[in-house]
Structure 1
Amino acid sequence: MTDRQVSWPAAEPPPPGYVPPRGMPHSPMMFSGLPPRPVYREPHPVTAGPVVAGLTATAAWFVLFGSLGGSLGSYAWWTIGAALVAWAVAGVLAVLGDRGVAVGVAVASGLALALSMGLVVWRWTDTLDWPLW
């Protein structure tokens, strides 16, 4: 069996004249020689208000265009056209405008297009007739 090693002594004060090297954890000026750490922040953060505004405006856009269709096929085509325009607007807003509104527009147009295509697929599986042609 190995001999038990003696533990280090309790914290003793440093010897007189001892100056800890820079960067040691017990140094009062731990990182004083280093440049300050960079802070990365979004220059234009996305907040909830513009996202909700984009969602609301795009929902109204799809209600207006969806109401133009008289059948499922025409409703789907109007929705596809409105989604393409909405995605173009979201792209322009993301580059040149408010990115929060662009997020709201993109989310609402994706949901509206998914709902429309879900109805198309439901009709297609129910009647075995593709409603878009």
Structure 2
Amino acid sequence: MGLEKHALVGLHNEVLHGLRVNYYPPCSTPEEVLGLSPHSDASTITLLMQDDDVSGLEIRHRGNWIWSNGKYKSIEHRAVTNKDKRRISQATFLYPRDDVEVEPFDHMIDAQNPKMYQKVRYGDYLRQSLKRKMEGKKHTDVAKIKEIEE
């Protein structure tokens, strides 16, 4: 992302974290049953551990669902069920303190890439995100600059 080595340290001086353990039993009709609906995480960093031999995490790419293959992006993703095997995953979510203000990095803004998000207190952003149904990346609307939406 073109960041200086310690650019994110200031956001995470006191790390808050959450843990989620997911269990997806075998499903006879996996094409009809989602394990977890499409969403994007509201945390600043998510670490996911999952079974090596059971696929189930997909990302949306160019309108199609594909396997994520370990890409580091805040991207819309979902969990699917497997016909023959159970799947277990553990997600650890890292968050800045509530009072930390977040906004796009200066080096990512220029004439071709105008600022799309305003500065927000992370706690306000997170609470608004948690009030919403998991709908892709809709939770980012909380911080989106209104002129850009149109």
Q: Would the TM-score normalized by the shorter structure come out above 0.5? A: no
Higher RCO, 1 or 2 (CA under 8 Å, sep at least 6)? 2
Computing the radius of gyration from Cα coordinates, the structure with the larger value is 1
Structure with the bigger percentage of strand: 2
Please give the TM-score of this superposition, normalised by the length of structure 1: 0.21
